Copies of this chain bind each other. A is one copy, B any other.
Amino acid sequence: MISFMNDYSEGAHFNIIKRLVETDMEQAGGYCSDQYCKEAKDRIKAAIGTEAGDVDVEFLVGGTQTNMIMISTMLKPYQGVVSAKTGHIATHEAGAIEHSGHKVLELPPHDGKLDPMDVAKYLDTFYGDEAHDHMVFPGMIFISHPSELGTLYTKEELKAFRMICDKFGMKLYLDGARLGYGLASKGTDVTLKDIAQYCDAFYIGGTKVGALIGEAAVFMRGCKPEHFDTQIKQKGALLAKGRILGIQFAELFKDDLYMKISKHAIDMAVILKAAFVEKGYPMYIDSPTNQQFFILPDAKLDELAKDFKFARWEKVDETHSAVRFCTSWATKKENIEKLAAAL
């Protein structure tokens, strides 16, 4: 059985595993006070550069945890976060944001993305006509890059969100669970430095891009919440052996590994997409990243399911379904060839 189910089916990239083995019996300080975490932070900061202002980096364990913590510690109690209705925080995080006390203010998605025009219009109405003292104040814009449907924001869109945030005193936060796959996408005009420039905070996903666990939370220009360690301890997110986060991100940001393995996933996605297109299967959405969505006859899907794993997205009509096939840093070309043959 070959799985294209998601981008977290395998363990970690060989370099990371190798380094975990090498350092295993070294004694290190706890709670991310060790030298590996320091090294990892330095390398991430070097990749981000200094053009966009001061950078703080902290390590957390998983994506939902990171979203919940970054959003709830940056928002004020009377604020909510604006998100596409298909945003991960709005759909598949079990209400973690609301559990932390904040409303997710949902706007209609466009190919999985939030439209700056929609946000601007919403805010104009909010601050224009409404009796907003009894309403949740929009304090942050949440975007995923790539989005939950694999699509990407443009530099123009990020800039537009930035202008909106500046105008209305809001924060721009970017969920980068699959950030590498977005940055490595062919044709994107958005770089890591752009993200650092336009966002107040974002995270660089590790779990889905080569690490065993771990996400690197980045706060720009002094946006890191006060007593951050205490706040994450309070939420059960502070790892005793923080070193394993440091070791992983130190490897991922050594010799451009993060981008290299991300590029591999994109290369595999391009081949995979071509295989579907060649057979004439329509795209459900045209994604430039590692998540690929197609519409296939259910009968064909049942046949494929004997040898391949993939995610059933939704019924399209009586006899067809949309499905998602993911590539990742770990995808083998031979497996895509087997899939192509099966198609």
Residues of A within 8 A of B (CB): 1-3, 5-6, 8-12, 14, 17, 20-21, 23-31, 61-69, 73, 76-78, 80, 91-99, 101-104, 106, 129, 131, 133-137, 207-208, 212-213, 226-227, 229-231, 233-241, 243-244, 309, 312, 314-315, 330
Contacts and interface: CB of A to CB of B under 8 A. Distances in A.
Nearest to A63: B240
A234 B315 contact: no
A250 to B, nearest CB: 14
Contacts of A135: 91-92, 94, 230
Given A8-B240, A213-B213, A78 B234 contact: yes
A3 B21 contact: no
Nearest to A229: B133
Contacts of A99: 77, 101-102, 234-235
A234 B28 contact: no
A17 B24 contact: yes
Contacts of A68: 235-236
B64 A226 contact: no
A207 to B, nearest CB: 5
B65 A236 contact: yes
17 contacts: A9-B29, A10-B26, A11-B24, A11-B25, A17-B21, A21-B21, A27-B309, A31-B133, A61-B61, A63-B240, A78-B234, A92-B131, A92-B135, A94-B230, A99-B102, A213-B240, A213-B244
Contact of A95 (B78, B131, B312): B78
B24 A65 contact: no
Nearest to A208: B240
Given A28-B9, A61-B61, A244-B212, A137 B227 contact: yes
